[in-house]
Amino acid sequence: MFVRTILAMSLGCLFAGTAFATATTAEQPLKPKVVTNTAVEDPINPLAIGSASSAQDTQITPQEQQDLNKASQTLQNLQQSEDNTADIGTAPASAAVATSSATAPTSPAAKASWTLDGLNNASWFDNIGKGQFPVYARTQVMLNNSHASPGAIDGTSGKNTLKALATFQQMNGLQPTGTLTKQTWDALVAKQGNRPAFVEYTITDADLKGPYAPSIPHDYALQAKMKGLYYTRVTEMLGEKFHMDEDFLKKLNPKATFKKAGEKIIVTNIRNELPEDIHLIVAHKGAKQLYLFNSRNQMIASFPATIGSSDTPSPEGTYKVTGVAPNPWYSYSPSNFVQGKNLKPLSLPPGPNGPVGNIWIGLSKKSFGIHGTPNPSAISKTASHGCIRLTNWDANDLGKKVRSGVTVKFLQ
């Protein structure tokens, strides 16, 4: 019982004394403190704990404030430049006027296929329009590899792809419209180099072994009795491993059983690392994006994010990263919110299907953090309990490179 009590402590409390005392100094640890075998809370009512954490308000140096102001202006300009009503692949008006009927989108789209060669040879064409096309699948992989995450790769145009395109354009000196122009396509291809966007992967015995859970019950009381909140099937695991929407993985491999070692499937050829110099993180609530800046105030990466909701808003202001907890236990407390009929505190075991995914990046505001999710394809499309929710793979990428003392700013 004593061990469970310790596990039920809030991560915010555990982190309060780590790295925070040095937050305003020039020298910071290269990597944040890693806390293991601990529990985290995902609060439902951030206003209820605001007064409790007021004594720990983050101190920001004049230089950090100047960097914040520059980053905020960059993002304000970015938001004003994006065309949120555009078909993602539509060429600019000037180019569209010059397009003849011979280059109608049906011709290139019809020639493209969902085979390995078709995906890797998919090319840009005028007025692609909205939909699910191999050209978008290749685009999403190239965006991912350029640190402009489109979230779960599904080959479909949409807001997450538009935001990723706008970030890529911003980072590479192009007009950040979010439109897949020929100039943007050429820049993506140049960045990707000779590396194919999709590759053949052989399913292994380890892939099939798991561990896997038969299912994940909705009720937290039942989850608390499980050994781990594991993946429930091979396709779910492979989808997260390759940053893919699970249904899209199945679409690319209609004949695969996903039950045999040695079976070959088509998957993305993605990166799993971020730049080292993460100096500032901005959580933009309106854009539903998390932006990373380096010490030279250059945007270096972005992720689609779920940041609070109208009923459970995320905090306002500026905070610091205080630590990282991989595979955390999740501490449920009915004083924060009531799930089902659960009126007693519960400790939920670790796993990718846990409420905070398989990683927690703590902030200097008690019980708030950046974390993963059991539903990657819903990122930026649903609400959270006030924290910053990313796909498990994006959260893990960030957790590997972020360091204690990095500033996190919430913007409207």
Catalytic center residues:
371, 387
CA angle 90, 188, 153 (to 5 degrees): 75
Alpha-helix residue ranges (DSSP H) falling in 121-245: 134-145, 159-171, 182-192, 205-209, 220-224, 234-241
How far apart are the C-alpha atoms of 58 and 53, rounded to whole Å?
Answer: 10
Across the chain, how many H-helices and E-strands are there?
15, 14
Longest CA–CA separation in the chain, Å: 74
Q: What is the DSSP string of 218-251?
A: S-HHHHHTSS---BSSHHHHHHHHTTB-HHHHHH
- Residue 337: Cβ-neighbour burial (10 angstroms; 0-12, 13-18, 19+): middle
How far apart are the C-alpha atoms of 134 and 193, rounded to whole Å?
Answer: 18
- The helix (H) or strand (E) run that includes residue 410 is strand 407-411
